[in-house]
């Protein structure tokens, strides 16, 4: 009957040890064995060797088992301690996707498409021409604004000249009023002395009233001219209100004319270009097609909320894209969202309902690629896997470390 070592009775172990000792002592050395020895059966050399090996193995077996019983638990403890020390340092998730800047091409002016130079999937640089809108109406508007600006410059010069002329006329008018007033007073005195006639006095009165009326008109004209110059006779042209208004109108007309040619705002790849055709009338603000940027590329990851314990902005990240599994990119945690993804949905979950089920939430974070890496082959929406090095160590590691790599997070 076979007994496992831990279930063997004590008497069986003792008996086996005694038997082994008896066999070892009973077997004489190979040189002492003689097939002709009286009272002993004949024994070959191979049989004798096997007998000695079996006896030695029986003696060494207990010591080997004891050594294994010590080594295996120690090895398991070392492996467990290692995983404890590194647990929580690396956070990995495959809920990550490549993001890129997307720009909608929308015209700022309305008009008919007269030229298309962009094609589907074309790699664009900033400033490359995309398409053009009929510029004729906007060119005419710019010419009209230029003519109005020129006319206002002329009016400003004429206003300055007329204001100077009015000043001289007012001075002459005041002198005329003073002379007519003196003549009227003189004739009044003569009439009182019965030297002059009433008709002479009436004529003098009419002249005085006419000169005063003319002076009032000149003063009013001067006031109007001064108001147009904001009360400053020495007002410069660039401060003249009508000139400023005409300049703004001309700049707007020129800007509209320049906006008839649409150019690429960023470096990227044109997509959905087939939605635009020759002769189509576009209104201002209409989305025509898109450009996906190739320079500004990032990764949007969504780790579980339980993985954010030791995660901070600025930690290094290793990025692997499913389309290029043999290549890795280096990145940095740029920002962690202030809320979970469920908080920004159109219809947030109503947790006050009676059928509530707890679900581990995910928090979006943005990972920026380190500069100097080739990211031009990455496309927006590609699946990726990220591994974030939080730098966290277990408590045992901090006891034996001279400097703490990472502190426990604040509660």
Listed by start position, the domains of the chain span 44-86, 90-100+296-345+356-399, 107-134+260-282, 137-240
Query: What is the pLDDT, as a whole number, of residue 83?
Result: 67
**What is the length of the chain?**
411
Query: What is the pLDDT, as a whole number, of residue 57?
Result: 52
Query: What is the pLDDT, as a whole number, of residue 336?
Result: 94
Query: What is the pLDDT, as a whole number, of residue 4?
Result: 45
Query: What is the pLDDT, as a whole number, of residue 8?
Result: 46
Query: What is the pLDDT, as a whole number, of residue 70?
Result: 81
Beta bridge partners of 99: 298
Query: What is the pLDDT, as a whole number, of residue 20?
Result: 46
Residue 45 burial (C-beta neighbours within 10 Å; 0-12, 13-18, 19+): exposed
Contacts of residue 49, Cβ cutoff 8 Å, sequence gap at least 6: 30
Query: What is the pLDDT, as a whole number, of residue 52?
Result: 59
Could you please report the per-residue DSSP string of 263-297?
E-SSSEEEE-GGG--TT-EE-TT---EEEEEEEEE
Query: What is the pLDDT, as a whole number, of residue 54?
Result: 61
pTM score, whole prediction: 0.61
Buried b / exposed e along 273-309 (16+ C-beta atoms within 10 A): beebeeeeebeeeeebbbbbbbeebbbbbbbeeebbe
Beta bridge partners of 115: 132
Query: What is the pLDDT, as a whole number, of residue 30?
Result: 45
Beta bridge partners of 289: 105
Q: What is d(CA 19, CA 11) in angstroms, rounded to the nearest whole number?
A: 12
- What are the residue ranges in the chain where pLDDT is below 50? 1-40, 397, 399, 402-407, 411
Q: What is d(CA 288, CA 290) in angstroms, rounded to the nearest whole number?
A: 7
Query: What is the pLDDT, as a whole number, of residue 53?
Result: 61
pLDDT tens digits, one per residue of 90-130: 899 999 999 999 999 999 999 999 999 999 999 999 999 99
Element (H, E) at 201: helix 198-228
Which DSSP symbol is given to 28?
P
Fold topology of 107-134+260-282? OB fold (Dihydrolipoamide Acetyltransferase, E2P) (2.40.50)
Contact yes or no for 166/225 (Cβ under 8 A): yes
Query: What is the pLDDT, as a whole number, of residue 7?
Result: 44
Fold topology of 90-100+296-345+356-399? Elongation Factor Tu (Ef-tu); domain 3 (2.40.30)
Given this chain, do its domains 90-100+296-345+356-399 and 107-134+260-282 carry the same CATH topology? no
Q: What is d(CA 117, CA 129) in angstroms, rounded to the nearest whole number?
A: 7
Per-residue three-class SS string for 131-189: EEECCHHHHHHHHHHHHHHHHHHHHHHHHHHHHHHHHHHHHHHHHHHHHHHHHHHHHHH
pLDDT tens digits, one per residue of 310-357: 899 999 999 999 999 999 999 999 999 998 888 877 777 777 767 778
């Amino acid at each position: 009957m076979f007994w496992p070592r831990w279930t063997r009775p004590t008497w069986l172990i003792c008996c086996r040890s005694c038997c082994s000792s008896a066999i070892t002592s009973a077997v004489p050395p190979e040189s002492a064995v003689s097939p002709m020895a009286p009272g002993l059966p004949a024994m070959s050399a191979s049989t004798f060797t096997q007998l000695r090996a079996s006896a030695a193995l029986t003696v060494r077996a207990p010591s080997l088992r004891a050594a294994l019983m010590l080594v295996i638990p120690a090895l398991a403890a070392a492996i467990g301690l290692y995983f404890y020390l590194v647990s929580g340092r690396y956070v990995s998730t495959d809920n990550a996707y490549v993001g890129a800047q997307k720009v909608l091409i929308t015209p700022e002016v309305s008009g008919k498409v007269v030229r298309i130079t962009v094609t589907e999937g074309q790699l664009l640089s900033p400033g490359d021409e995309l398409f053009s809108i009929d510029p004729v109406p906007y060119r005419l508007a710019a010419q009209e604004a230029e003519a109005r600006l020129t006319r206002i410059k002329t009016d400003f010069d004429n206003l300055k000249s007329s204001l100077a002329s009015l000043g001289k006329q007012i001075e002459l008018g005041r002198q005329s009023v003073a002379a007519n007033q003196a003549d009227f007073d003189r004739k009044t005195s003569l009439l009182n002395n019965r030297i002059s006639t009433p008709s002479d006095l009436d004529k003098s009165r009419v002249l005085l009233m006419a000169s005063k009326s003319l002076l009032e008109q000149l003063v009013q004209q001067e006031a109007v001219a001064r108001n147009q110059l904001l009360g400053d006779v020495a007002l410069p042209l660039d401060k003249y209100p009508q000139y400023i208004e005409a300049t703004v109108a001309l700049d707007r007309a020129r800007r509209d004319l320049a906006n008839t040619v649409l150019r690429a705002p960023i470096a990227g790849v044109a997509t959905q270009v087939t939605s635009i055709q020759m002769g189509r009338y576009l209104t201002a603000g209409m989305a025509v097609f898109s450009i996906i940027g190739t320079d500004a590329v990032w990764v949007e990851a969504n780790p579980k909320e339980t993985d954010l314990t030791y995660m901070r902005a600025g930690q290094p990240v290793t990025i692997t894209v499913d389309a290029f599994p043999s290549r890795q990119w280096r990145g940095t945690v740029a920002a962690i969202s202030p809320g979970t993804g469920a908080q920004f949905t159109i219809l947030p979950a109503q947790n006050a309902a009676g059928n509530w089920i707890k679900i581990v939430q995910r928090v979006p974070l943005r990972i920026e690629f380190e500069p100097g890496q080739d990211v031009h082959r990455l496309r927006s929406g590609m699946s990726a896997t990220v591994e974030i090095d939080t730098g966290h160590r277990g408590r045992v590691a901090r006891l034996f470390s001279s400097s703490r790599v990472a502190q426990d997070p604040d509660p």
